[in-house]
Amino acid sequence: MKSRHNYRPVYRLFSLFVVGLLVCATGVCAEVATPEQFFGFKLGTDKKLARYDKIVEYLQKLAGQSDRVRVRNLGPTTLGNPYLLVEISSPENLRNLEHYKSLERKLYFQGGAPTDAERDEIFKSGKAVVLVTNNLHSTEIGSSQAIVELIHRLATDNSDGVKKILDNVVFLTVPSANPDGQILVTDWYNKVVDTPNESSPLPVLYHYYVGHDDNRDMFLFSQKESALAAGILWHDWFPSVWLDEHQQGSDGSRIFTMPARDPINPNVDPLIYRWEAILGTSQAAALDAEGKTGVIHNVSYDSYYVGAFGWTGWWHNQVGMLTEVASARIASPIYQQRATLSLSSSQAAASGGGGAAGGGRGTGAGRGAGAGRGAAPAAAGVDASPGAGGGRGGTQEQPLPAPTDITPRNDYLQPWLGGKWTLGDIVDYEVTATYALLETAADRRETLLRDIYKVNLDTIEKGRKGELGRGSEKAYGVLIPVSEQHDPAEAVELVDKLIGGGVEVYRAKNEFKQDEKTYAAGTFVVPFTQVFARYAKDLLERQTFPQVRVTPESDPIPPYDVSSWSLGLQFGVRTDFAKTALDSSLALERVTVTPKWPLAAANNGNGWSFAYTGAQSALLVNRLLKGGAAVRLTKPDSAGIPTALVTAKPEVWTKAVEGFEIRAGAAAGKAPPRPAVATTLRAPRVGLYQPWGGNQDEGWTRWLLEHYSFDYTTLHNKDVQAGKLRQRFDAIILPSQRGTALLTGNTAQSVLPEYRGGIGDDGWQALLDFAAEGGTIIAFGESTNVLIEKLPLGVKNLKRTLTVQEHHAPGTIVNLQVDTSHPVGLGAARETYGFYVNSPFFETVEGFSSQKVSVVARYPNTTVLASGWLRGDELMQGRAAVVAIDENPGKIVLFGIQPQNRAQTHATLPLLFNALYWSAEGDVNIAGQ
Ligand SMILES: [Zn+2]
């Protein structure tokens, strides 16, 4: 609850944290220490890293001495470190920064469209506002060093070139977008450097909860750092350009610059893609001019996905950009055998998506790639976790194989041919590329502003005509009725996310008609006559991933990332797209503060009752249980919804419903005088398995459990192996892990011994004992494989034998039918949506008489695909997605879908939460049969 409104508190904090005030009257103070003087080494020196806390200290000191630099602390990160925004411009511009900010905000139509006079003033005197975010992925650490060098240069260099930049650009930069991880990686590196375990991977995720997936949170803003970035982007500064700096694998090109490869997204204005190419190409040219080779574009990363840093800017009419520089082994050099240039063109290299990027992308999976590389995407070499991967060689004694992508071509004019590559090279490439971006933004300031204005104006005009995007169907806005939702609280959750992304959301003051339907007063309305309409549309509509083929005969190229996000579907919220123009007389009220969660509840004399309909119900239940209340569930009513009956002290109830708005609803107070109680809810004792090496699926689950107020205990291999688990736990959760990683873990010799291996035979036996003694094992996605293969279960995994040509779903929203009479299905919608990523799907098998095998959720007999990309739809039809097995006393719940994927899948969270309650239930027969 407390993190829901992060973006607004951030905004309020802005004026309070100006650390560096103007100290020097003109120019630059002579006493400004260089980074080398301050840190004691030149940034980029082999095996030396500037730690984030020292970077903060240096930048604050610099800001105190320079009238070109300001530093603001936007608030604490997840682990309590300062999240810094540095603002750099000419002294004159900084003195009038609020004025230039107001021009930039007006460019993005904040507070209404600019008048003609305001527009002309923006073109004449507005600045190019450029945001550069660094080091989001913590092992990709070079940019946290490079940015310090660049800031120092801008603060002290009196050349005409720097003056031009400072006069024309307001440069905003976040030195590390994940400060906690920067510190973690620096300390880890210092621990292992120059030891035999120098390439031992980090034992934990480098973002405390979500690891590498901190680059997949830019529409949910679940993590503090994402919300802080959203605050800069869509509530404070509205930068026109946003570059996010990353590192890729070590063995191919040296730097990726924009543009990215196909497919493009139909909702993005073409001018935005064009500006990516203008700015990206200017970066490439600057690198060429310095004789830096290995500059590539139009590969690997497609131009489609909405949830990544930088990328998200496109739908906000911001020029979102990416650089990916080849990695060293953190700060240790990489050595690679040398190749000879090949002048014969090869199909693989020329195909754009090929080359070093190869196949096997689909970082959407990203999760549970085994204990060793859980934090890194599936594809080695693409935005990988460098150095931390371990076992890939690259030392002087064991150099990497020579590069294979060695044919010069338009996208890759001067291929990298191998040799030594250092942190210093990364810093050099990044300083050059970032400086070039600023220089071009300065040179083309007015054209950039004019084009952004045009895109913003066009967006609103097209929204007015219902013509946004490139589909044939007209769409004028989105209507989100509240009271008609299965779980009205989720409609509010959805609105909260939209507001976080800067979308203007309104409430209808009165009942109204649209497309022949009647909508109640209080319906949320998102008109497309707004500057961020492209974002709202893309976020809420169903995705149809474009079919891009290298040749007409070849298979379509699968997405780089997940293929669907449709947030309404994922939240289980009905979102109606207006097919005709919204009534101009419609009385609307802007929603500026996210409303409370609606809750159908009533006091029925002896206590309270409320409709048990979704994830927020679990939050309420957990708060009540912690307050000592008794909570029972009735059998579902005719609509499939159980009622929760609460006996609690009034103060416990009052505290528990904080954030909820009580209203009489369909299920409120409808409990019969002597209701048929199905089950008593108890707080489950939860163990959450955490593999060494970091596992994002575990991290997201951990975040969710905390967010919804479930207590849990983290279990490492030794804790599982110690046995006697049933004495401590009702449920043990196994996050998704590939193959046999649960059992074997990462066995590479480079891994420090204490982090090597999985739960092993002892741990496996302990899990079997746990189940035999009545414990509940809950497995997600890939982890269901181990249970199915090693246990006699009345379930078969149908995915196991299918090739990628037969069946492939790289992050797809699917239709689900839920058995809401089963304990695990209680309160869910009967027809809903799940998130599926190439994991098992099941059929049940006869002949296991000791087991009661129940299909909790299945795919429909008709179309499975709800949004995104799915090859082999028919193979899943009618099959099981979630299976619950009661072995009396033990239980096993197999989630073939990801019920908690990236914390986005609110519609299926109840299935996970119910499974936890089921584990604590003892012998009560809940179905009441
Ligand atoms: Zn990265």
Query: Average of pLDDT values for 902-917?
Result: 98
Query: Which has more confidence, 483 or 767?
Result: 767
What pLDDT, in 10s, does the model give residues 414-423?
Answer: 999 999 999 9
CA of 388 to the centre of ligand 1 (A): 13
CA of 62 to the centre of ligand 1 (A): 28
CA of 323 to the centre of ligand 1 (A): 9
CA of 238 to the centre of ligand 1 (A): 23
CA of 134 to the centre of ligand 1 (A): 10
CA of 384 to the centre of ligand 1 (A): 7
Burial class (CB in 10 A: 0-12, 13-18, 19+), 874: exposed
> Following DSSP, what letter does each residue of 596-621 receive, concatenated?
PEEEEEEE-SSSEEEE--SHHHHHHH
Strands (E), 161-202: 169-174
CA of 394 to the centre of ligand 1 (A): 20
CA of 7 to the centre of ligand 1 (A): 24
CA of 321 to the centre of ligand 1 (A): 13
What pLDDT, in 10s, does the model give residues 141-197?
Answer: 999 999 999 999 999 999 999 999 999 999 999 999 999 999 999 999 999 999 999
CA of 256 to the centre of ligand 1 (A): 12
Are 876 and 864 in contact by the 8 Å Cβ rule? The answer is yes
Tell me the residue length of the chain: 929
CA of 491 to the centre of ligand 1 (A): 32
Distance of CA 480 to the CA centre of its chain: 24
Q: What is the predicted pLDDT for the residue at 31? A: 72
Q: What is the predicted pLDDT for the residue at 383? A: 56
Report d(CA 348, CA 698) in Å as an integer. 36
CA of 307 to the centre of ligand 1 (A): 14
What's the pLDDT band for 32 if we cut at 50, 70, 90? confident
CA of 386 to the centre of ligand 1 (A): 9
Of 282, 279, 327, 273, the closest CA to residue 302 belongs to 273
CA of 268 to the centre of ligand 1 (A): 23
CA distances 658 to 653, 662, 807, Å, are: 9, 10, 46
What pLDDT, in 10s, does the model give residues 411-453?
Answer: 999 999 999 999 999 999 999 999 999 999 999 999 999 999 9
| Structure tokens belonging to residue 31 | 């006493």
Query: Which has more confidence, 657 or 4?
Result: 657
Asked if residue 666 has pLDDT above 60, the reply is no
Report d(CA 898, CA 912) in Å as an integer. 10
Q: What is the predicted pLDDT for the residue at 375? A: 31
CA of 248 to the centre of ligand 1 (A): 7
Of 88, 122, 894, the closest CA to residue 438 belongs to 88
CA distances 691 to 77, 178, 703, 844, Å, are: 24, 22, 16, 29
The count of C-alpha atoms lying within 13 angstroms of the C-alpha of 526, restricted to the half-sphere facing its C-beta, is: 31
Dihedral, 775, 776, 780, 786 alpha carbons, nearest 10? 50
CA of 376 to the centre of ligand 1 (A): 9
CA of 140 to the centre of ligand 1 (A): 6
Longest C-alpha distance within the chain, in Å? 86
Report d(CA 149, CA 155) in Å as an integer. 10
What pLDDT, in 10s, does the model give residues 540-590?
Answer: 999 998 887 878 888 888 787 899 999 999 999 999 999 999 999 999 999
CA of 551 to the centre of ligand 1 (A): 30
| Structure tokens belonging to residue 638 | 């005719």
CA of 708 to the centre of ligand 1 (A): 29
The letter for the amino acid at 206 is: Y
CA of 213 to the centre of ligand 1 (A): 10
CA of 246 to the centre of ligand 1 (A): 4
CA of 493 to the centre of ligand 1 (A): 29
Q: What is the predicted pLDDT for the residue at 30? A: 52
Report d(CA 670, CA 665) in Å as an integer. 9
Using a pLDDT cut of 70, give the percent of the chain over it. 90
Report d(CA 168, CA 441) in Å as an integer. 8
CA of 212 to the centre of ligand 1 (A): 7
What's the pLDDT band for 343 if we cut at 50, 70, 90? confident
With the C-alpha atoms ordered 389, 392, 394, 396, is the resulting torsion angle positive or negative? positive
Q: What is the predicted pLDDT for the residue at 553? A: 86
CA of 107 to the centre of ligand 1 (A): 30
Query: Which has more confidence, 470 or 317?
Result: 317
Reduce the DSSP state of residue 20 to 3 states and report it: coil
CA of 249 to the centre of ligand 1 (A): 10
Query: Which has more confidence, 37 or 354?
Result: 37
Three-state SS for 739-805 is CCHHHHCCCCCCCCHHHCCCCHHHHHHHHHHHHHCCCEEEEEHHHHHHHHHHCCCCEEECCCCCCCC
CA of 659 to the centre of ligand 1 (A): 36
CA of 250 to the centre of ligand 1 (A): 13
Of 685, 759, 684, 686, the closest CA to residue 723 belongs to 759
Of 582, 605, 774, 619, the closest CA to residue 675 belongs to 605
CA of 145 to the centre of ligand 1 (A): 15
CA of 13 to the centre of ligand 1 (A): 29
CA of 244 to the centre of ligand 1 (A): 9
Asked if residue 781 has pLDDT above 80, the reply is yes
CA of 324 to the centre of ligand 1 (A): 7
CA of 699 to the centre of ligand 1 (A): 18
Strands 69-76 and 82-88: antiparallel
CA of 421 to the centre of ligand 1 (A): 18
> Following DSSP, what letter does each residue of 170-230 receive, concatenated?
EEEEES-S-HHHHHHHHHHHHHHTTSTTTTPPPSS-SSTTTGGGGGS-TTT--SHHHHHHH
Asked if residue 390 has pLDDT above 60, the reply is no
CA of 2 to the centre of ligand 1 (A): 29
Q: What is the predicted pLDDT for the residue at 848? A: 81
CA of 329 to the centre of ligand 1 (A): 14
With the C-alpha atoms ordered 508, 513, 517, 520, is the resulting torsion angle positive or negative? positive
Query: Average of pLDDT values for 365-390?
Result: 35
CA of 225 to the centre of ligand 1 (A): 15
Report d(CA 273, CA 279) in Å as an integer. 10
| Structure tokens belonging to residue 103 | 């021009």
What pLDDT, in 10s, does the model give residues 788-833?
Answer: 999 989 999 999 999 999 999 999 999 999 999 999 999 999 999 9
CA of 381 to the centre of ligand 1 (A): 11
Phi and psi dihedrals of 377, rounded to 5? -65, 165
CA of 309 to the centre of ligand 1 (A): 10
CA of 296 to the centre of ligand 1 (A): 16
Query: Average of pLDDT values for 874-900?
Result: 97
Asked if residue 363 has pLDDT above 70, the reply is no
- The span from the first CA to the last CA of the chain, in angstroms, equals 37
Dihedral, 845, 847, 849, 850 alpha carbons, nearest 10? -70
| Structure tokens belonging to residue 436 | 């070039």
Residues of 880-919 as b/e, b for ≥16 C-beta within 10 angstroms? bbbbbbbbeebbbbbbbbbbbbbbbbbbbbbbbbbbbbbb
CA of 245 to the centre of ligand 1 (A): 8
Distance of CA 610 to the CA centre of its chain: 32
CA of 351 to the centre of ligand 1 (A): 23
CA of 137 to the centre of ligand 1 (A): 5
CA of 390 to the centre of ligand 1 (A): 17
Task: Give, to the nearest 10 degrees, the angle between helix 423-443 and helix 142-156.
Answer: 50
CA of 308 to the centre of ligand 1 (A): 10
CA of 136 to the centre of ligand 1 (A): 7
Phi and psi dihedrals of 487, rounded to 5? -130, 95
CA of 165 to the centre of ligand 1 (A): 27
Distance of CA 293 to the CA centre of its chain: 32
Using a pLDDT cut of 90, give the percent of the chain over it. 83
CA of 141 to the centre of ligand 1 (A): 10
| Structure tokens belonging to residue 207 | 């973002």
| Structure tokens belonging to residue 94 | 């900084």
Phi and psi dihedrals of 171, rounded to 5? -100, 120
Q: What is the predicted pLDDT for the residue at 34? A: 96
CA of 754 to the centre of ligand 1 (A): 27
CA of 392 to the centre of ligand 1 (A): 18
Q: What is the predicted pLDDT for the residue at 346? A: 52
CA of 691 to the centre of ligand 1 (A): 22
Q: What is the predicted pLDDT for the residue at 558? A: 79
Helix locations, 484-551, DSSP H: 488-500, 533-540
Of 240, 257, 224, 226, the closest CA to residue 316 belongs to 240
Asked if residue 356 has pLDDT above 70, the reply is no
Distant-in-sequence, close-in-space partners of 97: CB < 8 Å, separation ≥ 6: 70, 87, 89, 170
CA of 430 to the centre of ligand 1 (A): 14
- pTM value? 0.92
Asked if residue 386 has pLDDT above 90, the reply is no
| Structure tokens belonging to residue 201 | 């991977």
Of 231, 240, 242, the closest CA to residue 317 belongs to 240
CA of 247 to the centre of ligand 1 (A): 5
Report d(CA 53, CA 532) in Å as an integer. 36
What pLDDT, in 10s, does the model give residues 294-333?
Answer: 999 999 888 998 889 989 999 999 999 999 999 999 999 9
Q: What is the predicted pLDDT for the residue at 508? A: 98
| Average pLDDT of the chain, as a whole number | 90
CA of 340 to the centre of ligand 1 (A): 29
Query: Which has more confidence, 749 or 701?
Result: 701
Q: For residue 804, what is the enclosing H or E element?
A: none
CA of 380 to the centre of ligand 1 (A): 12
| Structure tokens belonging to residue 149 | 């060098």
CA of 133 to the centre of ligand 1 (A): 11
Report d(CA 406, CA 825) in Å as an integer. 55
Q: What is the predicted pLDDT for the residue at 360? A: 30
CA of 565 to the centre of ligand 1 (A): 20
